[in-house]
Every structure is written in C-alpha cells, then in structure tokens.
C-alpha cells in the first residue's frame, strides 16, 4: 500500500532536522532549527505522534545551540558519544571497510555525495540522517507524479538502510548522548532521535541488523531518478 505523501514529507523533514542538529555549533541556531518541529510532528503518522508528542510536552524546545567546547567534548572520534557508526561495531578493526563500502554503495546508487569541504566520514550520524531524508523526498516526488514503482524503490531502500545502518547504532548513540550532556539542545535531540527511530522501525516493520553481523549484500541498487541524481550533492554543508 502506498504511503501518504504528506506523512512521507514530514518524516523526511524530521530526518533533515535531526541531521542539522549534529552539525558544528557555529552553524546552529536552536530557535530557528526547531521552530517548525511541532508542525512536523502533527503531520507524522499516528504512531510517530504518540511517541514524539510527550517529548515536546516534557522538554522545553531549545532556544540556544551548544558551545564548540561541548561539541568537541562529546563527539571526538573514540569518545563515548562518537557520532560514527563504525565506532559502535565490536569488530570495527576488521569490518570498518565493509560497512563503509556498504554505505557508499547506498549513497552512490541514489546520487548522494558528501560535501568536499566537510571532514566527516560517510558513517557520521548527520550524513546517514541526511541520506534518509533524501530517500523519502525521492519517494514523495515519485508518488506526487504518479510513479508508483519508483516510489516503492525509494521506500524499500529507506527501510533497508534504516535496518542495516541507522537503527543498528543510532539509538545507542542517542542514549549515550542524553546521559553525557546537560546541554538542552542535545538532550532534546537525543530523545527525539531515539523515539523517532523507534517509530520508524515500527512503521516500516523492520528489525535492526545487529552490528555484530556484517551488512547484508546490497545487490543492485538503482535510483528511480538516476538521470536527475547525476551531479547532485549530499550532505550538509
């Protein structure tokens, strides 16, 4: 059954908002970033709303971003709250290349490219969230122009990416972040991220792949808008 287009767009917007929240503080304006979060939540599927509404009722929507010091303290490579997927793999030393190759396979298939001036690796939380936002935008566009098969391709890729990557480590990342900081923006984002991904897994009926297992073989991935994707740029600048 085709998904509701307004809900797809709202889910894409939530992924985008979360992605932006993990960029360096100099790019963040908490008040502007979260100005539309209540409207986004109202447009999400009912299951998402049930999990996310209590967050905005219990935690004040942040007005200010974190300091550069707090960002560096939390998110340095190898620290407890490292924002890189492969740092959560117990066998990262032997499987990091495999997981990065799997990520890049997804990105390349759908025309998603990391900005050249950014220093993050492909498994950074902001990159993975941005990619999910892009997949859902592609699904919404396809549905809007009546290309049901193309919509299904993008939706299937989103479900697989969620199971193989984001949902396998980002909830752990969010829990560590909430426990490690007193910053209002990061505590709010940590709760939002964890509950949103739980809602997504339930909505898409996916079971996260354990990081203790290697990524499943991708097979052939083809973006339904391959010609339009050519030369497009991905993650956050």
Residue 225: per-residue pLDDT: 59
Domain contains 161: yes
Could you tell me if residue 233 is inside a domain? no
Q: What pLDDT band is residue 119 in, cutting at 50, 70 and 90?
A: low
Q: Is residue 232 part of a domain?
A: no
- Give domain status of residue 224, yes or no: no
- Is 235 a residue whose pLDDT tops 90? no
Angle CA 34–46–165, to nearest 5:
70
Question: Per-residue pLDDT averaged across 20-34, rounded?
Answer: 80
Structure confidence at residue 96 (pLDDT): 87
Supply the pLDDT for residue 24. 86
Residue 51 falls inside a structural domain? yes
Query: What 3 state SS string does the chain have?
Result: CCCCHHHHHHHHHHHHHHHHHCCCHHHCCHHHHCCCHHHHHHHCCHHHHHHHHHHHHHCCCCCCCCCHHHHHHHHCCCCCCCCEHHHHCCCHHHHHHHHHHHHHHHHHHCCCCCCCCCCCCCCEHHHHHHHHHHHHHHHHHHHHCCCHHHHHHHHHHHHHHHHHHHHHHHHHHHHHHHHHCCCHHHHHHHHHHHHHHHHHHHHHCCCCCCCCCCCCCCCCCCCCCHHHHCCCCCCCC
Structural domain includes residue 217: no
Let me know the angle formed at the C-alpha of 91 by 86 and 93, rounded to the nearest 5 degrees.
75
- CATH of residue 23's domain is 1.10.3480.10
pLDDT for res 25: 83
Mean pLDDT calculated for residue range 5-17: 96
Check pLDDT > 90 for residue 32.
Answer: no
Between helix 5-21 and helix 184-204 the angle, nearest 10°, is 150
192 has pLDDT over 80: yes
Q: Is the model's pLDDT at 232 over the cut of 50?
A: no
Mean per-residue pLDDT over the chain, rounded: 86
Percent of the chain with pLDDT over 90: 60
Residue 181 has pLDDT above 70, yes or no: yes
Give the tens place of pLDDT for each residue, 82-93. 999 998 887 766
- pLDDT greater than 70 at residue 214: no
Domain that holds residue 61: 5-211
Q: Is a pLDDT exceeding 80 seen at residue 216?
A: no
Of 147 and 121, the structure prediction assigns the larger pLDDT to: 147
Check pLDDT > 80 for residue 112: yes
Residue 16 located in a structural domain: yes
Q: Which segment of 53-62, 114-123, 152-161, 168-177 scores lowest on mean pLDDT? A: 114-123
Q: Which residues pair with 84 in a beta bridge?
A: 124
If one counts the domains in the chain, the total is 1
Give the model's pLDDT for residue 60.
Answer: 84
pLDDT given at position 116:
64
- Rounded to an integer, the average pLDDT of 19-23 is 92
**Mean of pLDDT values over 42-46:** 96
The set of long-range contacts for 16-21, using a CB threshold of 8 Å and a minimum separation of 24, is 16/129, 16/130, 16/133, 18/129, 18/189, 18/192, 18/193, 18/196, 19/125, 19/126, 19/127, 19/129, 19/130, 19/133, 19/235, 19/236, 20/126, 20/236, 21/185, 21/186, 21/189
Is pLDDT larger for residue 53 or for residue 114?
Answer: 53
Give me the pLDDT at residue 143, please. 94
Is 134 among the domain residues? yes
Alpha-carbon span 140 to 147, nearest angstrom: 10
Q: Is the pLDDT of residue 63 over 90?
A: no
Residue 124: strand pairing partners: 84
Q: Do residues 20 and 32 lie in contact, with contact meaning Cβ atoms separated by under 8 Å?
A: no
């Amino acid at each position: 059954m085709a998904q509701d287009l307004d809900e797809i767009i709202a889910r894409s917007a939530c992924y985008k908002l979360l992605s932006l929240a993990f960029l360096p503080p100099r790019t963040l304006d908490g008040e502007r970033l979260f100005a539309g979060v209540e409207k986004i939540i109202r447009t999400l599927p009912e299951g998402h709303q049930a999990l996310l509404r209590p967050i905005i009722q219990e935690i004040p929507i942040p007005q200010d971003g974190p300091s550069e010091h707090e960002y560096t303290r939390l998110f340095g490579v190898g620290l407890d709250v490292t924002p890189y997927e492969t740092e959560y793999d117990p066998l990262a030393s032997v499987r990091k290349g495999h997981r990065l190759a799997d990520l890049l396979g997804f990105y390349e298939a759908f025309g998603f490219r990391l900005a050249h001036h950014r220093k993050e690796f492909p498994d950074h939380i902001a990159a993975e969230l941005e990619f999910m936002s892009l997949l859902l935008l592609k699904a919404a566009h396809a549905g809007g122009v009546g290309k049901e098969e193309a919509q299904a391709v993008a939706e299937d890729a989103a479900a697989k990416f969620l199971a193989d990557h984001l949902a396998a480590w980002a909830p752990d990342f969010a829990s560590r972040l909430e426990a490690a900081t007193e910053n209002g923006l990061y505590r709010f984002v940590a709760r939002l991220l964890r509950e949103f991904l739980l809602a997504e897994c339930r909505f898409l009926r996916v079971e996260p792949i354990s990081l203790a297992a290697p990524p499943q073989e991708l097979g052939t991935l083809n973006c339904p808008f391959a010609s339009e994707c050519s030369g497009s740029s991905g993650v956050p600048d």
